[in-house]
Amino acid sequence: LMTLVGSRVQFADGATGVATPQLSWASSDPDPADVLSHDVYLGTAFSTGGQQWLPTCAGGDSPGARWGAVAGYGETGDRLVVFGGETPEGRADTDVLVLENASGSGGPPEWRRIPVPEGPGRLAWASGGYDPVGNRLVLFGGCGGSCDAPSGETWVLEGADGTAGD
């Protein structure tokens, strides 16, 4: 149970030269063995605008609707790397799909399809992630088709974002 003592004051975003607010509260826990802690963050970058979803219309070779894909984001290159997943038609891609300028901050987002031969084949529901430092996409498990026989294989795709060529 936590009770805020005093009144709440809200300053305009980016306000400067305002008096430092005093924060105080009282808290208690019916279980004396519990340790109570309180984190308070004050800084200059606070915004009451919060987060918001922004729709984007990416050009290029769109991967279309799918679920069960493995995806990872590389912040430095602003690329979203996607592999596999099942489409409404019940098939999965064997290509790697890269969304260039994924955040839209470096230009309009654009999908690029990168054919990768001799990989794990059509795969959905794999676990995995993207290593942006090593530019590798790592996959484990998943299945193809009806998922009657899930895979126990691990795959590592070097040069996953396609910047080193196909």
Partners of 154 in the β-ladder? 140
Distance CA 69, CA 123 (A): 8
The CA R_g of the chain, rounded to the nearest whole Å, is: 24
Question: β-strand 127-131 against 110-114: which pairing, if any?
Answer: unpaired
Residue 3 confidence (pLDDT): 46
Per-residue pLDDT reduced to its tens digit, 3-58: 444 555 556 656 666 666 666 666 777 777 777 776 665 555 655 566 677 777 88
Q: Which residue has the higher pLDDT, 116 or 128?
A: 128
- At residue 95 the predicted structure's pLDDT band, cuts being 50, 70 and 90, is confident
Residue 140 confidence (pLDDT): 93
Query: Nearest CA to 61 among 30, 96, 24?
Result: 96
Query: Nearest CA to 157 among 126, 121, 116?
Result: 116
- Please state the pTM of the whole predicted model: 0.65
